[in-house]
Amino acid sequence: MDQLLANLPISGVFVGTLLLVLASVEAGHRWARRRQKDRQLENEAPVGATLSLLAFLLAFTFGIAADAFHARKVALVNDANAIRMTYLLSSVIPEAQRSEIRTVLREYVDQRLRWADGQQDGPGRSASDLLDRLWKATAAVGEQNPGGVDVFLSYVGIEP
- Residue 4 in this model has a pLDDT that exceeds 70: no
By the 10 Å C-beta count (0-12 exposed, 13-18 middle, 19+ buried), 78 is classed as exposed
Report whether pLDDT(103) > 50.
yes
Instruction: Kindly report, residue by residue over 71-80, the tens digit of the pLDDT.
Output: 989 998 998 8
Mean pLDDT in residue range 140-147: 74
pTM of the model: 0.55
Q: What is the pLDDT of residues 31-58, one digit of tens each?
A: 888 877 766 555 555 777 778 888 888 8
pLDDT over 60 at 156, yes or no: no
CB 144 within 8 A of CB 94: yes
The answer, yes or no, to whether residue 3 has pLDDT greater than 70, is: no
Percent pLDDT > 90 in the chain is 4
Side-chain-facing half-sphere of 92: CA atoms under 13 Å: 13
CA distance 80 to 86: 10
Residue % of the chain over a pLDDT of 70: 78
